[in-house]
């Protein structure tokens, strides 16, 4: 729980309850730490509220549902979406759910999140995705945020097969972006990364990707693209 700028604490809180007919309560079986959690810790998220339990990358089992929830039921294994969204407002209808007028990034920022045994999820029909039995918690954990971030980045970049795509950074989000960029089969994928161990990881696991230090990035991109630079970044 975010108790003051620069400090998280492990504390006891009451088990969350259904507050709205569209809510669900989820028993958390696995969660992860996002860099956004660290941003909150360091005071870089002004809208984060003191006293909020952090965490927005999680999977679990539905414990209870409100009377208007129709897509999940108690006992269902689910991945939880980082974004809380109504699905009906101006932004939601256009796919920009992070700008939802009654939602956005709430879990672990403005309401209690998933670094806990239980979490209340508003608009559960939109915020929970059932997990099939052949998918493990570990495999589903990144669906709600980090993998979705990489998928969205690749989608909005409008990648074509003749393109050269540059990915800046090979941390977890960069790797998820790399996985999704590969779905579009561009002509060249270039990863620019300052950290030696991360460059080694990409070379080891993605032999068809060009991995560069920042100081060499511009020169190599120009050589690959007849001087025009990356088509998508």
CA distance 173 to 8: 24
Pick the CATH number of 2-144 from 1.10.287.110, 3.10.580.10, 3.90.180.10, 3.40.190.10: 3.90.180.10
Span(s) in the chain for CATH 3.40.50.720: 148-224
What is the pLDDT confidence band of residue 170, given thresholds at 50, 70 and 90? very high
CA distance 152 to 158: 11
Mind listing the pLDDT tens digit for each residue in 21-31?
999 999 999 99
Residue carrying the six token digits 């860099």: 35
CA distance 32 to 92: 26
Span(s) in the chain for CATH 3.90.180.10: 2-144
Strand partners, 4: 7
Locate 64 and state its tokens: 């209870």
Mind listing the pLDDT tens digit for each residue in 30-47?
999 998 999 999 999 999
Per DSSP bridges, beta strands 7-8 and 77-80 are unpaired
Architecture of 148-224 per CATH?
Answer: 3-Layer(aba) Sandwich (3.40)
C-beta of residue 59 within 8 angstroms of C-beta of residue 29 = yes
Predicted pLDDT of residue 229: 95
């Amino acid at each position: 729980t975010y108790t003051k700028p620069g400090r998280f604490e492990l504390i006891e809180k009451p088990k969350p309850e259904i507050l709205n007919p569209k809510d669900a309560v989820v028993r958390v079986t696995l969660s992860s730490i996002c860099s956004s959690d660290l941003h909150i810790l360091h005071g870089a998220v002004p809208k984060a509220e003191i006293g909020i339990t952090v965490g927005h990358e999680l999977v679990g089992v539905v414990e209870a549902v409100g009377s208007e929830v129709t897509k999940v039921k108690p006992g269902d294994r689910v991945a939880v979406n980082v974004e809380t969204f109504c699905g009906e407002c101006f932004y939601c209808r256009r796919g920009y759910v992070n700008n939802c007028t009654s939602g956005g990034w709430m879990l672990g920022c403005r309401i209690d999140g998933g670094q806990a045994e239980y979490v209340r999820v508003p608009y559960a029909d939109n915020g929970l995705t059932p997990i099939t039995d052949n998918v493990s918690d570990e495999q589903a954990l990144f669906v709600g945020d980090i993998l979705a971030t990489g998928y969205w980045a690749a989608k909005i970049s409008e990648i074509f097969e003749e393109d050269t795509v540059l990915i800046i950074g090979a941390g977890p989000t960069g790797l998820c972006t790399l996985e999704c960029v590969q779905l579009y089969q561009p002509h060249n994928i270039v990863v620019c990364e300052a950290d030696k161990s991360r460059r080694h990881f990409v070379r080891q696991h993605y032999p068809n990707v060009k991995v560069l230090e920042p100081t060499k990035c511009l020169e190599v991109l120009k050589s690959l693209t007849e001087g025009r630079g990356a088509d998508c970044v």
